[in-house]
Amino acid sequence: CLRGRLRMSFHLSMRKQALLVSLCVNAILFCVLVNLSLAGKNVASPVQTRSAATTTRVGLMNHPTQQMFNSYTPSQYAPVVHVPRDLSAKAAFMNVPASQMRAAKVTSIIKLALDAGKANPAPPVGPALGAAGVNIMQFCKEYNAATQKQMGQVIPVEITVFADRSFTFILKTPPASKLLLQAAGLEKGSGTPDKETLATITQDQLKEIAEVKMPDLNAKDIEAAMRIVEGTAKNMGIKVAAAA
């Protein structure tokens, strides 16, 4: 009886060991298979990516832009030259006197309406240009010389001031209100243009004023410019005679 029990317990222990060994072997085989499958995916992905990229590049070979880059040779294009930022170095680079070099940076734009040929350091010129550091006397001299032939007119000017305190200016056409007052023989317009008419101008006078103002008006033709000037005249109490 005791021998039988010992034999039975021995067989049971052997079966448990065999079952454990079998489970371990199966687990090892499963891990090996998973690693192999993952390795296969990682190897296949770059191949697919390279083939797709190759296909894309081949498709672009016939594109005009790609052909331009393929045919590029350095001798076809001028080299890029760096211009120094310093004014003295830039002047030496461009072989011009440093006094003639202006800074590219614009610091301010000043707009004034002055009597032609009569600019002076008094207000509004002096305070406006002095605050910007501009040579006031130099501007007055240049403005008066440029507007000498237009004495008696008010010539607006747009002054561009640069970082080195140099400047340039652009002359504008006289204000439409001033031209209308001269044409009508008035000193000032009406304060109530909807109730009173101070004077009447002809269509020819209106056209002459429109032609003078044309460069500064947002008008595509002389007829459109005449309509704009006529609107200004009505706001001043000046009537425009009907066309004959």
Residue 14's pLDDT is 72
| DSSP H or E segment with residue 126 | helix 125-131
- pLDDT at position 59, please? 43
Confidence bin at 136 (pLDDT 50/70/90): very high
Q: Does the pLDDT value for residue 57 go beyond 80?
A: no
Tokens describing residue 23? 């489970």
d(CA 161, CA 169): 9
Q: What span, in angstroms and rounded, lies between the C-alpha atoms of 86 and 88?
A: 6
What torsion, rounded to 10 degrees, do the Cα atoms 183, 187, 193, 198 define? -60
Per-residue model confidence (pLDDT) at position 61: 44
92-134 pLDDT, tens digit per residue, is 544 545 555 544 588 999 999 999 999 999 999 999 999 999 9
Question: Do residues 216 and 173 touch, judged by C-beta distance below 8 A?
Answer: yes
Collect all residues with Cβ–Cβ distance below 8 Å to 90 and sequence separation of at least 6.
Answer: 83, 84, 101
Other Cβ atoms closer than 10 A to 22:
10
Q: CB neighbours (10 Å) of residue 214?
A: 17
